[in-house]
Amino acid sequence: MWLLAGFGIAHGVNEWLDLLSHVNRAPTGMLKYPRSALLFLSFIIFFEFGRRLINLKQKNLIRGWITVFISLLTAMLIFFIREGVNVWPRYFLCLPGGFLIAAGTISYYQNNKNILSTIAVKKYFYSFAIVVFAYGVLGGLVVSDAGIFPANLINNSWFMARTGFPVQFFRALCAIIMSWSVWHMLGIFNWETSEKLKKNLNEMNSIKAYLDNIIKSIPDSLIVFDADCKIKMVNNVACSLLGYSEKELISMPIEHLLIKQKVGEIIEEIEDSAFLVSKDFKIIKANTVFLDKMLVRPEDVIGKYCYTATHHIDHVCQLPNDRCPIQELSYTNRPSVAMHAHFTPEGTRKLVNVIAAPVRDDKGNILYYLHISRDYGVSPDEQCLSPGSAGFEFLCNELKGFVDRLEVSTGLLKETREKVAMLMNLKNFETYFHAKSKVAIPVELSNSSITTDSGDLLGFVCIAKDIRTKKELRNIAEEVLVAKGVAIAERNKAGEVEKLYAELGKSYKKLRVAQSSLIEAEKLHSVGTLAAGVAHEVKNPLAVIFQGVDYLNANLRSDNKNIKLMLTYIEDAARKADSIIRDLLDFSRLSKPELKLSQINPVIEKSL
């Protein structure tokens, strides 16, 4: 359509100048050459528009070099036969151009009759074809007077004598009718484009709804974060786990899920006697288990020296009676278990195993120590846990978990985005999510980063599995260890203690491995099934959308920027959906693809 617009501008100016010259409104001498140049240029555009229009039905029916050849031939005739300066462009370009445009318009309507016949546009197409044909005759056959045939017979003077009106009047009338027809035709083209866009948008919305339903049906909590660590998408399981609505979770920063937990809350979660000790051995915080077993109130021990509160002495624990685990930790830089005798205010003696570990800030400086004691009710010679034993390792692992959480609570991630980006490459690691109810929920995370082709981080997909039941199993396993340890101690078989702990430790590790394998198999099975369904049900419609967008970009003849922008939006949205699907497939893939010979003839025959 830009060619038709160019012709209208160039030829419209020329026609008005020609009309002015006939009514003696302007001198003709000074306008002769600009008029001739505009006339020649406008008819080149007119002919080229007809050539392209007729080629819509059959590609390369009239090749582009024909326009160049006729233009050069016309220029040569103008140069050698100066009498026909304004005649030759009309004969060789305007007259055949009108025929081509008329035929091309009717051909276009016939090719799209199934669509256009449902709309009352036939009269616009045919009126345009008739009028442009008439314009080609009036503009290409009725020319200025010249001494060449047929201009010496059929010319402006001849037409004026026969009709009583100048030919320019009828040309202008044709131009008005053509403009009216084109206006309505362009409206139809816009309607057609809008319908296609609406159809594509409906398909995109259907695919998005289908993908959302798949994501929300995943049995584990699924959370999608963007590159700024803000939530972009969640499923119903995640909302139920965290106690938030989907609207509340969207755009929530990740630090709100990993929000700092109060030190006192962490201490209270420890099921053994526990308290925090400052570097000068003063108790900062004690949990309820410790207070109940020692038969004291918080004000009786907070701010007191730990050795005074537990041993009723005025100095740090020392050998040969009790060795201090905190002092030993400062020498060896690793936790150690010691057997102590704690005393209640009434003097009741309680034998316990104690262990301690430092809690540090983000710079590595020690803030305080976490002290845990476990009451076994037997003599020191019978129940001291040696380094390397299964019971010792179990207790150390449990201690480390609480220390890590205390360190997070004292100085949550300084650079959250970088820390999280690093964690997103880890698989099946445990952490805590904090629900709306302020409850710390232990979860096992499995993550997959979302990157561009150049490796830039776009975000990450996180699948969180609630492991509160798994934690309960650990507690049961711990109770089994304790019960078996007491039974063996009562039989006074020191050698069997280590052997049994080793066996129980191995059994517990095997239990964890088996449990992890079952969890992983269940997760991969569900995600694998999901990925296969997505690949079949979603990627095929996406391919159709990509083809539709490419076809519209290649064939749409419109300067409407909104339409082009909408096509860009559709393509970007489709590519984003395709990227999410590929990431889900990559996340669930268990092995590398294996190349195999396959017979492709049946596939090709079926597609044809």
* Confidence tier at 175 by pLDDT (50, 70, 90): confident
Q: What is the pLDDT of residue 447?
A: 76
> What span, in angstroms and rounded, lies between the C-alpha atoms of 64 and 60?
8
Q: Can you list the positions of beta strands (E) in 136-254?
A: 221-226, 231-234
pLDDT of residue 451: 81
Peptide bond just before 150 cis, omega within 30 deg: yes
Residues 144-172 pLDDT 10s: 777 778 877 888 788 888 888 888 788 77
At residue 263, φ and ψ (nearest 5 deg) are: -55, -40
Any idea of the CA torsion for 354, 357, 359, 362, to the nearest 10 degrees? -170
For the chain, the residue count is 608
Span 71-96, average pLDDT:
77
Beta-carbon count within 10 A of 283 CB: 23
Per-residue pLDDT for 64 more than 60? Answer: yes
pLDDT in the model for residue 352: 85
Of 586, 469, 480, residue with least CA distance to 519: 469
pLDDT number for residue 458: 82
Nearest residue to 174 via CA among 101, 88, 92, 67: 101
- 5 falls in which pLDDT band (50, 70, 90)? low
CA nearest to 133, candidates 107, 153, 161, 104:
104
pLDDT of residue 372 exceeding 70: yes
For residue 379, the model assigns a pLDDT of: 40
| Largest Cα–Cα separation, the chain | 138
Does the N-terminal peptide bond of residue 593 adopt cis geometry, omega within 30 degrees of 0? no
Compute the average pLDDT of residues 179-208. Answer: 74
Nearest by Cα to 354 from 369, 365, 364, 367: 369
Between 416 and 385, name the one with better pLDDT.
385
Cα dist. 346→295, 305, 311 in Å? 9, 18, 12
What span, in angstroms and rounded, lies between the C-alpha atoms of 428 and 35? 80
* Cα 297 to the center of its chain, rounded Å: 54
Between the two ends of the chain, the Cα-to-Cα distance in Å is 35
Task: State how far the Cα of 228 lies from the Cα of 238, in Å rounded to an integer.
Answer: 20
Q: What percent of the chain has pLDDT over 70?
A: 68
pLDDT-derived band at 560, boundaries 50, 70, 90: confident
Q: What is the pLDDT of residues 309-336, one digit of tens each?
A: 988 888 888 776 677 888 877 777 666 6
Whether the CA torsion 149, 153, 154, 157 is positive or negative: it is positive
Local confidence band at 415 (pLDDT 50, 70, 90 cut-offs):
very low
- Average the pLDDT over 41-57 and give the result: 78
Residue 347 pLDDT exceeds 80? yes
Encoding tokens for residue 573? 């949205």
Task: Give CA separation, 470 vs 277, 430, 467, 571, in Å.
Answer: 30, 11, 5, 45
Q: What is the distance between the alpha carbons of residues 436 and 412, in angstroms, rounded to a whole number? A: 19
Count of CB atoms within 10 A of residue 473's CB?
A: 14
With a pLDDT cut of 90, the percent of the chain lying above it is 0
DSSP structure string for 546-600: HHHHHHHHHH-----HHHHHHHHHHHHHHHHHHHHHHHHHHHH--S---------
- Which of 80, 83, 70, 77 lies closest to 43 in space, CA to CA? 70
**Tens-place pLDDT, residues 351-364:** 888 888 887 766 77
Mean pLDDT rounded to a whole number for the chain: 74
Top-confidence range, 29-43, 79-93, 118-132: 118-132
Tokens 């669509």 locate to 115
Note the pLDDT tens digit of each residue in 481-490.
Answer: 666 655 555 5
The secondary structure of 128-150 as a DSSP string is HHHHHHHHHHHHHTSB---SSTT
pTM of the complete model: 0.34
Q: Return the closest-CA partner of residue 132 out of 171, 98, 181, 94.
A: 98
